[in-house]
């Protein structure tokens, strides 16, 4: 796991911890916001954590493709193409899991007025899966 991937996962952890009220000491000293603001931003924190997790997964996939000398067009092209190419560069089950969690993260990252954003439990489940897949990809 490279440092960028680790930092993105740590950022997601911080966003999730903010929702649980377990911020590190320097951040916790900030003046408390009214409950309505906290309620309004809970979904935003979850969506932000989903963005960080998606970026971490994409970074790990890009590293794996670069290590396996995938064509530059694949590495710098669309992420969908990168995940298709990943099937040739990783175990089939790992590639399937990576694509599945990436699709769920993409849905969680997109904002629609008529949909409720991802819940904290969903993002925590995605985090567990991303860490597992990233670990498998970095072996």
Q: What is the pLDDT of residue 22?
A: 55
Record the pTM: 0.84
Angle, vertex CA 47, rays to CA 111 and CA 4, nearest 5: 125
pLDDT of residue 32: 54
pLDDT of residue 40: 40
Q: Which pLDDT score, from 0 to 100, does residue 31 have?
A: 52
The whole-number mean pLDDT for each consecutive block of 10 residues of the chain, a chain of 139 residues, reads 93 84 47 49 89 96 94 88 94 97 94 84 97 95
H helical segments located in 1-139: 3-20, 25-28, 35-67, 72-75, 79-89, 92-109, 120-137
Q: Determine the pLDDT at residue 90.
A: 94
Hey, where are the domains in the chain?
A: 3-137
Q: How many CB atoms lie under 10 A from the CB of residue 131?
A: 19
């Amino acid at each position: 796991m490279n440092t960028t991937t680790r930092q993105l996962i740590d950022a997601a952890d911080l966003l999730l911890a903010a929702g649980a009220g377990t911020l590190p000491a320097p951040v916790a000293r900030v003046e408390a916001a009214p409950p309505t603001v906290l309620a309004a931003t809970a979904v935003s924190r979850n969506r932000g954590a989903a963005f960080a997790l998606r970026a971490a997964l994409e970074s790990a996939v890009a590293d794996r493709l670069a290590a396996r000398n995938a064509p530059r067009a694949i590495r710098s092209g669309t992420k969908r193409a990168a995940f298709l190419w990943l099937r040739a560069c990783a175990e089939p089950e790992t590639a399937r899991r990576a694509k599945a969690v990436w699709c769920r993260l993409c849905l969680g990252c997109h904002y629609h007025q008529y949909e409720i954003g991802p819940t904290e439990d969903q993002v925590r489940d995605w985090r567990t899966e991303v860490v597992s897949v990233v670990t498998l990809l970095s072996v």
